[in-house]
A and B are shown apart, each in its own frame.
Chain A
Amino acid sequence: MKGPTMTLNRRGFLGLTAGLSVVTLTGCATGAPSPTAAGPRDGGRLRAAFAGGGAKEVLDPHLANLFVEAARSKALFDKLADLGPDVSAQPRLAEKWEPSTDLTRWRVTLRQAAFHDGRPVRAQDVLASYARILDPNRAFRAKSSLSLIDLANSRAVDDRTVEFALKRPFVEFPNALAAFGTYIVPEGAEDFGAPVGSGPFTFVSFEPGKSLLLKRNPNYWEGAPHLDELEFVLANEESARVNALLGGQVEYAHDLTPTTARGNAGSDRVMIHRSPNSAVQAFAMKLDRAPFDNRDLREALFLLADRQQLVEATLSGAGQVGNDLFGKGYQYYADDIPQRTRDLDKAKFLIRKAGAEGLTVQLDTSTAAAGMVEAATVFADQVKGSGLTIEVVTGNKDSYWADTLKNGSLSSFRSGAMPIETHLAQRLLTDSGTNVTKWARPEFDTLYRKAVSTADAQERGAAYREMQSTLHADGGYLMWGFADWIVGTSPGVGGVSTAPANTLDWARFDKVWLG
């Protein structure tokens, strides 16, 4: 968008006011500044606009569900581990972890860290936090991630050492410690009106649905943040976040669309930050019912997708093509499996072979995630002429995920980043809670159990490779692309990470500075 500079020039030409002409001159002189060149600078208040949950919001980190809640929790609290740029678990409050040889007992040593009120973070706080999450009478999101911990047999060895007993051998236990919402709160904490955590920022004030103001924690164990203050403000509509950024009301706008990114590329008012491989875009076929219980038909669909066109048309190019496998660029991703490309002739042959010529399939989609309806429409178009017809049906966005878990045979799907092991456990085992494709194979379950109970990294890698190979050949996910996560900041803002969404460095503000 060349607009702003041109308008400013013309306004200067018209000479409406002297003050505005000065703006014009500075606007022209600076051009597009390069903030990273300036280096970190301390101080200032950064205002960050996110989509929010309205007046019903709370600061309880175990109730976190939305992006803004994840970002706030991260500013105020710590987890024992968190996800690094390759979406593998990295130690945080935990300094190190050591499993027993049978992988059922894990000894976690805590870092020397303190809560905002000065009390040290102790093993007892860790156990109390996990006990709170696992409370059978409550429904915290992290409950299933931690469910393999045998809490009754776990204990605090000393103030800085926890020994976790697991219900079964599990080599990927650090993934559980890094799971969404597994924050450590002080023992006995129930009132989060003025939360006390161990994170890089401390609480100042909170108005639900309006704003949360935090200030820097000078004693943060990883070093104090650059910013003096951090304010989270809410704007649910993407256009409002962009307007607030362009109007100078905020310095950071979270979750922008590819269209906005493209429109503002090269603008001197906004810097666009893209985090590749942040969200997988897919179509999910259900294997337990017609017509996609037929393997040939699934392969036909795989071969009908023109992935590059889908990325161009629905992500405005802000993404990469997928190869029907989750977690491109993540630890254990099978990048040696050849990339699938469109093959209309073979697809036609497979559709005939499956006896599905003339068949019309309903593709359920909704606006629950950006770009899904557009992708469904583009895909329906790509399928034309193959003998198969796809009819796009747009459903209710608020109940979409629950609806498509049960109903229909083909649906739009999208997922944020998580370790590949977590993706397998949550979605592709016979008893997985969110098994959209109804992939249920005893031999696959066995292979998964083998992978997560073997200490040998190479053997484990081979098992993950084999599982991905099976899914690539036979699975129900047509994962056609990986979308960038897009954030906009004012030009002076530096230190914004481009690690995938859901990882530690995403929406993290203690390394960010104002220029």
Chain B
Amino acid sequence: MSLSRYAAQRLAFGLVQVLAVVTVVFLLVQALPGDAAVALAGDNPDPRRIEEIRQAMGLDRPAPERFLGWLWGLAHLDFGVSLFSGRPVADFLADGLGPTAVLAVLTLVLLVPLSVLVGVLAALREGGVLDRVLTSISVGLHAIPEFALAVVLIALFGVRLRWLPPTAVGTGGDLLAHPAVLVLPLVVLLARPICSISRLVRAGMIDALASDHVRHVRRLGISTGRIRFAHALPNALAPAVQQVARTTDWLLGGVIVVEAVFVIPGLGTGLVDAVASRDLPVVQGLAVVFAVTTVLVNLLADLAAFRLAPRSAGIA
């Protein structure tokens, strides 16, 4: 099978996946108790008013009709409007994308060199003090959920010591203009993936350094640095690369937690707000964005794997 044919097949399958996701999301939100009118009425749940709100929001139309109408709009790249504010959902997505993209991209950009550094350092000192210290820290950090780590870091560096801003409150989502605000969220986002990927790099590096071909290269009298970084490291990276792709999926979830804790007005915060208020068009718009991102990232990872080793990708 050719690469382009494979890509087209995967793309079509991805489309089906996205459709399935939005359908399930629609059904799940329908299954939640209360609708947008009830959520808006809050502690003033006058049934007459709730009925009025329902009519004003168009919620009195049957659910399948609303869903199909929304799908028809989506086919024209029209995400619809928020039930509450009447603002286009596309605006919500555009507003939230900036902070979330900054977090996700910076995490990925920092993740690879940092994990390789930690992994290689540990591998080169295998069994030594440095290796044991790094191993203990990695295993320990990996065991701490993001929200717990975030709370501890905020309490220590944000509130007690006041070295770093404890939240992103007041930055208006322009995180790059306030780099200090990014430090704690990035530490939280990086902590777990660095641990898992650096462990893989360490193991791969130790294996590679002990492998036949490295031993052979060593016998040829090539310098230690060249052996390590030109011969052993590339082999050590293979498993780590796949883990990076998986980390991207994980980031989408991790970002939601981190945004909530640090009050970053990104897509994750938007999703939490929209679900709480049953603002279905916004929930669905965000679900499309998350689903499309996940499908695309996995598609790219699979294509890379296909390109590198068609047979092992299991599709030849």
In the complex, the answer to whether B34 meets A434 with C-beta atoms within 8 Å is no
Residue in A closest to B170 when the chains form the complex, CB atoms? A233
In the complex, the answer to whether B277 meets A434 with C-beta atoms within 8 Å is no
Contact partner, B92, options A47, A55, A144, A233, Cβ 8 Å: A55
In the complex, the answer to whether B56 meets A138 with C-beta atoms within 8 Å is yes
Residue in B closest to A432 when the chains form the complex, CB atoms? B46
Q: Chain A, 231-259, contact with B by CB distance < 8 Å: what is the 0/1 string?
A: 10111110111011011111000000000
Q: A208-B87, A244-B167, A399-B34 are in contact. Are A137 and B56 (CB under 8 A)?
A: yes
In the complex, the answer to whether B269 meets A54 with C-beta atoms within 8 Å is yes
In the complex, the answer to whether A240 meets B169 with C-beta atoms within 8 Å is yes
In the complex, the answer to whether A49 meets B274 with C-beta atoms within 8 Å is no
Q: Which A residues lie within 8 Å of B38 (CB)?
A: 398-399, 402
In the complex, the answer to whether B87 meets A7 with C-beta atoms within 8 Å is no
Cα–Cα distance between A16 and B265 once the two chains are bound (Å): 35
Cα–Cα distance between A62 and B86 once the two chains are bound (Å): 15
Q: Is B273 located at the chain interface by the 8 A CB criterion?
A: yes
In the complex, the answer to whether B45 meets A434 with C-beta atoms within 8 Å is yes
Cα–Cα distance between A57 and B44 once the two chains are bound (Å): 19
Q: Chain A, 39-80, contact with B by CB distance < 8 Å: what is the 0/1 string?
A: 000000001010001111110000001000000000000000
Q: Which A residues lie within 8 Å of B91 (CB)?
A: 55
Q: Chain B, 247-265, contact with A by CB distance < 8 Å: what is the 0/1 string?
A: 0000000000000111101
Within 8 A of B (CB), among A200-235: 207-211, 231, 233-235
Residue in A closest to B92 when the chains form the complex, CB atoms? A55
Q: A208-B85, A433-B49 are in contact. Are A55 and B265 (CB under 8 A)?
A: yes
Q: A141-B44, A369-B43, A405-B47 are in contact. Are A398 and B169 (CB under 8 A)?
A: no
Q: Is B60 located at the chain interface by the 8 A CB criterion?
A: no
Q: Is A415 located at the chain interface by the 8 A CB criterion?
A: yes
In the complex, the answer to whether B170 meets A243 with C-beta atoms within 8 Å is no
Instruction: Quote the shortest CB–CB distance from A192 to chain B (angstroms).
Output: 10
Q: Is B50 located at the chain interface by the 8 A CB criterion?
A: yes
Q: Which B residues lie within 8 Å of A57 (CB)?
A: 85
Q: Is A160 located at the chain interface by the 8 A CB criterion?
A: no
Number of A-B residue pairs with CB-CB distance less than 8 Å in the complex they form: 169
In the complex, the answer to whether A236 meets B263 with C-beta atoms within 8 Å is yes
Central interface residue in B158, B260, B282, by most chain A CB within 10 Å = B158
In the complex, the answer to whether B282 meets A398 with C-beta atoms within 8 Å is no
Residue in B closest to A405 when the chains form the complex, CB atoms? B45
Q: Is A353 located at the chain interface by the 8 A CB criterion?
A: no
Contact partner, B270, options A55, A234, A250, A415, Cβ 8 Å: A55
Q: Which A residues lie within 8 Å of B159 (CB)?
A: 243, 246-247
Q: A235-B167, A433-B47 are in contact. Are A55 and B162 (CB under 8 A)?
A: no
Cα–Cα distance between A247 and B48 once the two chains are bound (Å): 45
Cα–Cα distance between A57 and B92 once the two chains are bound (Å): 11
Contact partner, B158, options A58, A243, A434, Cβ 8 Å: A243
In the complex, the answer to whether A210 meets B173 with C-beta atoms within 8 Å is yes
Contact partner, A434, options B44, B151, B167, Cβ 8 Å: B44
In the complex, the answer to whether A401 meets B160 with C-beta atoms within 8 Å is no
Q: Which A residues lie within 8 Å of B52 (CB)?
A: 138-139, 143
Q: Is B165 located at the chain interface by the 8 A CB criterion?
A: yes
In the complex, the answer to whether A54 meets B270 with C-beta atoms within 8 Å is yes
Q: Is A3 located at the chain interface by the 8 A CB criterion?
A: yes
The 4 closest A-B pairs by CB, nearest first: A399-B34, A54-B273, A433-B46, A139-B52
- Listed by A's residue number, 20 A-B pairs whose Cβ atoms lie within 8 Å are A7-B160, A54-B277, A55-B96, A65-B42, A137-B56, A209-B95, A233-B169, A235-B169, A240-B167, A244-B167, A244-B169, A247-B162, A369-B43, A398-B38, A399-B33, A401-B41, A401-B43, A401-B44, A402-B45, A434-B45
| Residues on B facing A (Cβ under 8 Å) | 32-34, 38-50, 52-53, 55-56, 82, 84-87, 91-92, 95-96, 151, 154, 158-162, 165-167, 169-170, 172-173, 260-263, 265, 269-270, 273-274, 276-279, 282
| Residues on A facing B (Cβ under 8 Å) | 3-4, 7, 11, 47, 49, 53-58, 65, 137-139, 141, 143-144, 207-211, 231, 233-237, 239-241, 243-244, 246-250, 368-369, 395-396, 398-399, 401-403, 405, 414-416, 426, 433-434
